[in-house]
Amino acid sequence: MVAHSTQFALSRQATVEVRPIQGFEAEELQNFFESVVMALPCYSAEAKAGELAKYTAHELCDRIHDDLESVLVARVHDKLVGFCFSNKDDQAIWLAWLGVHPDYRRLGIGKLLLDRLEQRAKRLASHKIWCDSRTDNRASAALLRRQGYEQICTLRRHWYRQDFFIWEKFVV
């Protein structure tokens, strides 16, 4: 499969490129992911450590070796500003992580990453995307709602003994 990128004009001077990660970017993404996770007030120390262990540079390379589009990145010029980690889960797509650099939030980058994920789901003939968010992560919940995701349940004291919403979006 040939990987392609999606571009979007952020401003007259800046363009956002959304595309699958390339192997040489894995260490940079690991560091960026760590900075996003460590800044999350809604995640416990145990949860942060557990998630960081799953997304090392080595693990990211393994993921793209098996599934090129499982790790998407957003860049403005040469700067890494967003990411999306997903995997095919039978006939659905599991959205594991979506993150945007704090300086680039509320500019449509999260939407672009989710749009690209939806394109991926359609190419894979998946019928839905599903994911979770912490119940106290209001920004994530707002983005998912705006993008047409429906909150289907609440899991109390679930992963890392924290509360989560489960979301889904059917793709046509």
Residues 13-66 have pLDDT tens digits of 579 999 999 999 999 999 999 999 999 888 889 999 999 999 999 999 999 999
Q: What is the pLDDT of residue 42?
A: 83
Q: In sequence order, which ranges of the chain are alpha helices (DSSP H)?
A: 26-38, 45-54, 57-66, 109-123, 138-146
Give which of 117, 78, 127 is closest to 97, Cα–Cα.
117
Residue with tokens 């709602």: 145
Determine the Cα–Cα distance for residues 64 and 83; give it in Å rounded to an integer: 13
Indicate if the alpha-carbon torsion angle 41, 169, 69, 19 is positive or negative: negative
**Percent of the chain whose pLDDT exceeds 70:** 92
> What homologous superfamily is domain 6-170 in, according to CATH?
Gcn5-related N-acetyltransferase (GNAT) (3.40.630.30)
Given a cut of 60, whether residue 5 has pLDDT beyond it is: no
Alpha carbon 61 to its chain's center? 16
Q: Where are the domains of the chain?
A: 6-170
Query: How many of the other CB atoms lie within 10 Å of CB of 155?
Result: 13
CA distance 143 to 123: 23
Tokens of 6: 């999606």
The Cα–Cα gap between 112 and 99 comes to: 12
**Which amino acid appears at position 151 of this protein?**
Q
Tens digit of each residue's pLDDT (9 = 90 or more) over 143-168: 999 999 999 999 999 988 889 999 99
